[in-house]
Structure 1
Amino acid sequence: MKLTIHGAARQVTGSMHLLQVGQYKILIDCGLDYEKDHNLQVNEDFGFDPEQIDVVVLTHAHIDHSGNLPTLVRMGFKGQILCTPPTADLTELLLIDSVNIFLSKADKGRRNRKRHKHSSGSGPQPLYLQKHVMDTVERFVTIGFNRPFCINGDIELTFIQAGHLLGAAAAVFKVMEDGVEKSIAFTGDIGRKNYPVLNDPEPLPPVDYIVSEATYGGRMHTKGKSVEETLVETIDKVCIKEQGRLIIPAFSIGRTQSLVFALNKIFSTGLLPPVAIFVDSPMATRATDIFRKHHSLVNPEAQEFYNKQGDEFEFDNLTYVETLKDSRQVSNYYEPCIIISSAGMLEGGRIQDHLFYNIQNYYCTILFIGYCAKGTLGYRLLRGDPIVHIKDRDLSVYATIQKTDVLSAHGDHEDLLNNIKQQDVNKIKGVFLVHGETVSMQALADALEPEGYKVIIPEKSVTYEL
């Protein structure tokens, strides 16, 4: 059995891991590398021949895990893509949105070249088109949680709930090789306990090897304040006392639904006077319908709320904004309000319109509730850049920039350690750390190695014999 990390090696995005059993090749995740956003074409360099991959196993829908699947298909992959039912539905939504982003950037590039009279060169082309997304979606084969699935006579796959997103799973493989049984788990992204809407991560069974994400290695989430307490404090200050505007960049899938449920609990129980709330993301609206479709997989708290009070994603003063015309009207709404819009890292989407009109508003607060990769507009704002480039203009930042981790869907340092330490140190043969910055991986390694765990921080495209 051989393992090669082809993506998210010593960085956060672009998860892509190749597991080879004899001549059979399994690709676990196939994500876009955001950190090469200036040159998306590097995502075509897989480090292997897509035609030689027999099957893909997808842990969850987020683009840094799923977003390069249509490129894989376009370049010759012909096998099945195994995932949970919610992951199939959410991934289709995200991949179609990726095509729109690619086309928008290509169109913007053409306009810039025309404006500056650079006629030479065609500029960056979309990685894939909608037809490639449809070809990809046709390859999905869905598997429920905790239901062993025989990939072939020697390889069995089981999905374990990871709690990071609806449908997110750790992929556990049981392999028979040369008469010897081996096992390996890929954590995907690990969620948190007591997170709005989502179930807690389930413990992994005993395995020989773990490939673990390390996003929050060395970092702990804020303790002591609940999601609702944090939101009440911020909304009260910005919207009630200052009569201002609160803009929350949020990923349309997962983060927005958890945020809306938390706001529902706040306003339905009268913790704050009514404030207009706009969810300005058509994709978030469609994703919420998918959450409703798979409602049996939301956590007990959300199910109980639904049974007692109705739809946890609908309440008074909440408006889902559909059309671009309605979105522009939100920009002209001058009463105190909360605007939830995507994308979470501010790289495209309607959030850029809201930033354009509010970044110089002293009575506006922009509240980040998720991770922003290096190089993104969100990262630059959080870094404290006094001037940022939005929609072809350099704008001074007068709005208040804040960040909270109470809605981070990633487990922190302690969660990651606990997930690994469930394994018997005398039996597990190796822990591979991926999907994190080098300093985060090293922090986890420093905590695990003194206890006897063999930790590997793999380099990209280096093959390890297991």
Structure 2
Amino acid sequence: MTFIQSFGAAETVTGSCHFLQLKNGPNILVDCGYFQGENEEQTYAPFDFDPKDVDIVLLTHAHLDHVGRVPKLVKEGFDGKVVALRATMDLAEVILMDSAKIAEEDYKTALKKAKRTGYEKRVPPPIYTSDDAKAVFDLIIQYADYNKAIQLVPGVKVTFRNAGHILGSATIQIEVSEEGYTKSLVFSGDLGSRRDIIMTPPSFVKKADALYIESTYGDRDHRPLKETIDECKEIIINTLKNQGNVLIPSFAIERTQEVLLLIKQMYYDKELPVCKVFLDSPMAIRATQIYNNYHAELNASASKLLLRDGTVFDFPYLQYSLKAKDSMLINKKESGCIIIAGSGMCTGGRILHHFKHRLWDDRNSVIFVGYQVKGTLGRQMIDGAESIQLFHEKINVNAKIHMLNGFSAHADQSDLVAWMSEFEQLEKIYLIHGEPDKQAVFKDVIKEQLHKPVHIVKYGEKIYV
């Protein structure tokens, strides 16, 4: 009998990894991502299944918490086929190579410290290396197109539909024919908002015997996007006029591109004071180039800017800081800067160096434009930390801290309910990708508004479908 087990994103937001064992077919893994925040240690734990038993990996999109452990999967024996959108694999290459580089650098640093005390044998090797990440792209990769079914094996087909979350993001529908009956199993992936600065709205699915749906913001609605944009503009304008700098910790994929689009539009609307805008993240720079390459998949706002000057993102104030020396030169500028740097949750990256130089100055502003997982530095700051520990140094948080949830690339409660309302047949709903308290609220909302059976998935729970 067909069953699904979730070995990640079960009563937590990150670590997406869903194992589908078909009665008479291949073993399918939907996503294989990093755990982040307070569950980070699970990333390094052994898999709860044998990677050699996985025949096919389907990827919903390229965020680290959905693809980050694929090299580990390959390293430990997976040699099957990967199916994903071409844009997803282009972005995944950027994400995975960066992840491998960080893992290797962290290992070298830990080993160097351990050698001073003679404990180098206790230092675990990196979760994977750059060579392991490259090996992912040596596998058989089958590229999907939106809304075109792919026959995986006789009796099993998969269709990718636009999830509207980031470039190449998909909702995955797996149709399994067994004993004259076809079951439709749907994994929402991360769904985007119906009102997004850069992406088109999510596409609908018509039938699901079992729907595995994300619930990150299942407990609430985002504030209206226009209000969020207006507030963001006000913070930027006021900070720059007061001789301050704007620091934006940003996720390399999607959120950075949204912010760039907004700031570029401010420039053309003559709302932006004269300033320097630094994109200080090699990964975000490469991702932005990929977004530009796939501009046909972006929405009307992006297309309008492309037609205006031949590029979606570039404008005269914008500078790309690709190398470390370029990043360090930013510190020489005392004011008049907008600095967009990774990482989005402040768990590493160049944003930490900018915090060291500017977080203590009350003229400056920090704008968080994405979800901050429990246990991350970003979460500490939005929860009101008066100081943070950074590079073995206490840094006072005197800069103004702003959390703008309206930019979220995730659907909110109303978006999720509206998306599910479009199903013509929806038998049972399974909640994944959410914190337990938020899932409990969302479960009650679904029962009240959709009158459908709903279950909160637990880690490793075997669910027969």
Instruction: State the TM-score, normalizing by the size of structure 2.
Output: 0.95
| Partner in structure 2 of residue 247 of structure 1 | 247
Give the conservation status (yes or no) of the 8 Å contact 1:220–1:412.
yes
CA distance in 2, matches of 1:88, 1:454: 35
2:452 aligned with 1:453: yes
The 3-state SS of whatever aligns with 2:151 is: strand
Answer yes or no: is the 8 Å Cα contact 1:367–1:404 preserved in 2.
Answer: yes
Distance change >3 Å, CA 178–CA 36, structure 1 → 2: farther
Q: Secondary structure of 2:102's partner?
A: helix
In structure 1, distance between residues paired with 2:451 and 2:198: 36
Q: Does 2:431 correspond to 1:433?
A: yes
| CA-CA distance at 1:446 after TM superposition | 0.3
Post-superposition shift, 1:118?
5.7
Is contact 1:189–1:410 with CA below 8 Å preserved after alignment?
Answer: yes
Measure, in 2, the Cα distance between the counterparts of 1:248 and 1:297. Answer: 25
Residue 383 of structure 2 is aligned to residue 380 of structure 1: no
Paired with 1:387 and 1:334, the residues of 2 have a C-alpha distance of: 22
**Corresponding residue for 2:172?**
171
SS of 2:379's partner is helix
Equivalent in the alignment of 1:104: 105
Tell me whether 373-382 or 102-111 shows the greater mean CA deviation.
102-111
Q: Distance in 1 between matches of 2:417 and 2:47?
A: 30
Answer whether contact 1:268 1:315 (CA < 8 A) is retained.
no
Displacement of 1:111 after TM fit?
4.2
Does structure 1 residue 407 correspond to structure 2 residue 410? Answer: no
Render the CA deviation track for 1:266-290: whole Å, top value 9, x for unaligned. 1112123322111101111111111
Partner of 1:31: 33
Offset at residue 236 of structure 1 (A): 1.5
Letter in 1 for 2:212: V
Q: Quick check: 2:161–2:170 contact (8 Å CA) kept in 1?
A: yes
Q: How does 1:107-118 map to 2 (within 5 A)?
A: 107-113=108-114, 117=117
Q: RMSD of aligned C-alpha atoms?
A: 1.6
Contact 2:274 2:336 in 1 (8 A): no
CA 224–144 in structure 1, closer or farther in 2 if over 3 Å, else same: closer
Residue 190 of structure 2 corresponds to residue 192 of structure 1: no
What is the letter of the counterpart of residue 417 of structure 2? L
Map 1:62-81 onto structure 2 (within 5 A).
62-81=63-82
Deviates more, 1:53-62 or 1:395-404: 395-404
Q: Report the Cα distance in structure 2 between the residues aligned to 1:369 and 1:59, rounded to whole angstroms.
A: 22
Alpha-carbon displacement from aligned partner over 1:288-309 (angstroms, at most 9, x marks no partner): 1111221221112211321133
Structure 2: gaps (5+ residues): none
Conserved 8 A contact 2:34-2:40: no
| Structural mapping, 1:262-277, within 5 Å | 262-277=262-277
Q: Is the 8 A contact 2:237 2:273 kept in 1?
A: no
TM-fit CA distance, 1:253: 1.3
Query: Aligned partners of 2:400 and 2:124: how far apart in 1?
Result: 35
Q: Is the 8 A contact 1:101 1:348 kept in 2?
A: no
Q: 2:346 and 2:184 mapped to 1: Cα distance?
A: 39
Indicate the residue corresponding to 1:332 in structure 2: 332
Partner of 1:350: 350
User: For the Cα contact (< 8 Å) 1:197–1:298, is it kept in 2?
Assistant: yes
Equivalent runs, 1:302-313 vs 2, <5 Å? 302-313=302-313
**1:462 pairs with 2:461:** yes
2:81, 2:300 → 1: CA distance?
33
For residues 229 and 315 of structure 2, the distance between their equivalents in structure 1, rounded to whole angstroms, comes to 16
Task: Indicate conservation of the 8 Å contact 2:364/2:399, yes or no.
Answer: yes
For the residue of structure 2 that corresponds to 1:453, the secondary structure is coil
Separation in 1 of the partners of 2:225 and 2:197? 16
Q: Residues 393-428 of structure 1: CA distance to partner in whole angstroms, max 9, x if unpaired?
A: 22222222111012211111111111222224xx42
Q: CA separation in 2, counterparts of 1:376 and 1:203?
A: 34
Alpha-carbon distance in structure 2 between the residues aligned to 1:105 and 1:393:
19
Q: How far is 1:105 from its partner? A: 2.0
Q: Which moved more, 1:380-389 or 1:101-110?
A: 101-110
Question: How far is the alpha carbon of 1:215 from its aligned partner?
Answer: 0.3
Aligned length: 461
Question: How many Å apart are 1:45 and its aligned residue?
Answer: 2.1
CA distance in structure 1 between the partners assigned to 2:459 and 2:390 by the alignment = 33
Alignment correspondent of 2:181: 180
TM-superposed deviation, 1:365: 1.0
1:118/1:130 Cα in 2 relative to 1: closer, same or farther (>3 Å)?
Answer: same
Partner of 1:12, secondary structure, is coil
Displacement after TM superposition at 1:231 (Å): 2.3
Q: Structure 2 matches for 1:1-400, cutoff 5 A?
A: 1-23=2-24, 24-35=26-37, 39=41, 42-113=43-114, 117=117, 119=119, 121-139=121-139, 140-223=141-224, 225-240=226-241, 242-400=242-400
- Which amino acid in 1 is paired with 2:345? M
1:230 partner amino acid: E
Q: Deviations over 1:99-139 (max 9, x none)?
A: 11112222332344456x36364323211011111111222
CA positional deviation for 1:75 = 0.5
Distance 2:269 2:396 in 1: 39
For structure 1, which segment, 229-238 or 8-17, has the greater mean C-alpha deviation from structure 2 after superposition?
229-238
Q: Kindly provide the amino acid, as one letter, of the partner of residue 429 in structure 1.
A: E
Q: TM-score, normalised by structure 1?
A: 0.95
Deviates more, 1:85-94 or 1:300-309: 300-309
Name the residue aligned to 1:419: 419
1:36: Cα distance to partner?
Answer: 5.3
* SS state at 2:426 partner: coil
Q: Share of identical aligned residues, percent?
A: 31
